[in-house]
Structure 1
Amino acid sequence: MTGKRILAVHRYFYPDTAPYATILKSIVEKWIGQGHQVEVLSSKPSYGTLLNDNLKGDISGYTVTRLNLKAERKKPLTRLLNAIKLCAALSKKVLFSKKYDVVMISTVPPVIGAWVAAVCCKLRGTRFIYHVMDVHPEIGAISGEFKKPIVFKLLSAMDSFSCRVATPVVVLSNDMKASIEKRGVDGVEVIPNFEIGVAANESSLPYKPKKESVSVLFAGNMGRFQGLDKLILGLAECETDVKKHIELIFMGEGTEKEKLISIASEKELDESVTFLEPQPIEVAKRMMQASDFGFVSLVGDIYRYAYPSKVSTYLAQGLPVWAHVEANSELARNIQRNGIGVVSDSRREESLQEGFKKLLSLASDSEISRDSVREYSEKELSKSKILAGWAELIDKD
Structure 2
Amino acid sequence: MARKKTDLAIVNRSFWPQSQVIGEGLLQFAEQAAQSGSVCVITQAEGDLAGLLASKGRGKGVEVRACKAYTTSASGVVKRIAEALFFMFWTFISLVRVKPANVYVSTNPPVVVPFIVAVYCRLFGARYVYHLQDIHPEAANIVVPVNRLLFKLLQIVDNYTLRHSNGIITLSEDMKRYIRQRSDTQSPIHLLDNAAFEVTPVPFAQRTKDIVFCGNAGRLQRIPLLLKAIRDYLHQGGKLHFTFAGGGVHASDVKALADDYEQVDYLGVIPATEAAELVNQHKWALLPIDDEVTKYAFPSKSSAYALSGTGVLAVCGEDTSVARWVTQHGVGVVCAPDQEALVRSFFSLERKSSESFMINAESRKKLLIPYFASELYRLTVPNSFRGWK
Normalising to structure 1: TM-score of the pair?
Answer: 0.81
Task: Please say if residues 107 and 114 of structure 1, whose CA atoms lie closer than 8 Å, have aligned partners that are also in contact.
Answer: yes
Comparing 50-59 and 101-110, the one that deviates more:
50-59
In the alignment, is residue 296 of structure 1 matched against residue 287 of structure 2?
A: yes
Query: Against the structure 1 CA distance between its residues 257 and 42, is the aligned structure 2 distance closer, same or farther, given a 3 Å change threshold?
Result: closer
Q: CA RMSD in A?
A: 3.1
Aligned AA (2:270):
Q
- Matching residue of 1:172: 171
Task: Please say if residues 104 and 380 of structure 2, whose CA atoms lie closer than 8 Å, have aligned partners that are also in contact.
Answer: no
In the alignment, is residue 387 of structure 1 matched against residue 381 of structure 2?
A: no
In structure 2, how many angstroms separate the alpha carbons of the residues matched to 1:77 and 1:330?
30
- Matching residue of 1:306: 297
Cα offsets for 1:274-297 (capped at 9, x unmatched): 222222333322221211111111
In structure 1, how many angstroms separate the alpha carbons of the residues matched to 2:245 and 2:94?
41
Query: Against the structure 1 CA distance between its residues 168 and 279, is the aligned structure 2 distance closer, same or farther, given a 3 Å change threshold?
Result: same
SS in 2 for 1:246: coil
In the alignment, is residue 245 of structure 1 matched against residue 231 of structure 2?
A: no
Aligned AA (2:9):
L
1:395 to partner: Cα distance = 4.3
The 5 Å alignment of 1:168-317 reads: 168-183=167-182, 184-186=184-186, 187-196=188-197, 215-238=210-233, 243-262=237-256, 270-317=261-308
1:123 to partner: Cα distance = 2.1
Query: Against the structure 1 CA distance between its residues 352 and 38, is the aligned structure 2 distance closer, same or farther, given a 3 Å change threshold?
Result: same
In structure 2, how many angstroms separate the alpha carbons of the residues matched to 1:70 and 1:380?
31
The 5 Å alignment of 1:94-113 reads: 94-95=95-96, 97-98=98-99, 100-113=100-113
1:80 to partner: Cα distance = 4.6
Query: Against the structure 1 CA distance between its residues 61 and 140, is the aligned structure 2 distance closer, same or farther, given a 3 Å change threshold?
Result: same
Task: Please say if residues 323 and 332 of structure 1, whose CA atoms lie closer than 8 Å, have aligned partners that are also in contact.
Answer: yes
1:117 to partner: Cα distance = 0.8
In structure 1, how many angstroms separate the alpha carbons of the residues matched to 2:289 and 2:70?
27
1:333 to partner: Cα distance = 1.4
Task: Please say if residues 326 and 345 of structure 1, whose CA atoms lie closer than 8 Å, have aligned partners that are also in contact.
Answer: yes
Comparing 270-279 and 316-325, the one that deviates more:
270-279
In structure 1, how many angstroms separate the alpha carbons of the residues matched to 2:59 and 2:360?
32
Task: Please say if residues 29 and 374 of structure 2, whose CA atoms lie closer than 8 Å, have aligned partners that are also in contact.
Answer: no
In structure 2, how many angstroms separate the alpha carbons of the residues matched to 1:290 and 1:40?
36
Instruction: Give the one of 26, 29, 50 matched to 1:27.
Output: 29
Task: Please say if residues 216 and 246 of structure 1, whose CA atoms lie closer than 8 Å, have aligned partners that are also in contact.
Answer: yes
Task: Please say if residues 342 and 355 of structure 1, whose CA atoms lie closer than 8 Å, have aligned partners that are also in contact.
Answer: no
Cα offsets for 1:56-86 (capped at 9, x unmatched): 789312211122x241242666545543443
Aligned AA (1:335):
V
Comparing 385-394 and 88-97, the one that deviates more:
88-97
Aligned AA (2:222):
G
Number of residue pairs matched by the alignment: 367
1:104 to partner: Cα distance = 1.4
In structure 2, how many angstroms separate the alpha carbons of the residues matched to 1:377 and 1:351?
31
1:374 to partner: Cα distance = 7.2
Task: Please say if residues 312 and 377 of structure 1, whose CA atoms lie closer than 8 Å, have aligned partners that are also in contact.
Answer: no
Task: Please say if residues 244 and 272 of structure 1, whose CA atoms lie closer than 8 Å, have aligned partners that are also in contact.
Answer: no
SS in 1 for 2:270: coil
In structure 1, how many angstroms separate the alpha carbons of the residues matched to 2:247 and 2:89?
33
Structure with more relative contact order (C-alpha pairs < 8 Å, separation 6 or more): 2
- Matching residue of 1:59: 59
- Matching residue of 1:206: none
1:134 to partner: Cα distance = 1.6
Percent of aligned pairs sharing the same letter: 25
Query: Against the structure 1 CA distance between its residues 52 and 167, is the aligned structure 2 distance closer, same or farther, given a 3 Å change threshold?
Result: closer
1:31 to partner: Cα distance = 2.6
In structure 2, how many angstroms separate the alpha carbons of the residues matched to 1:189 and 1:358?
38
List alignment gaps of at least 5 residues for structure 1.
201-208
Query: Against the structure 1 CA distance between its residues 141 and 18, is the aligned structure 2 distance closer, same or farther, given a 3 Å change threshold?
Result: farther
- Matching residue of 1:12: 14
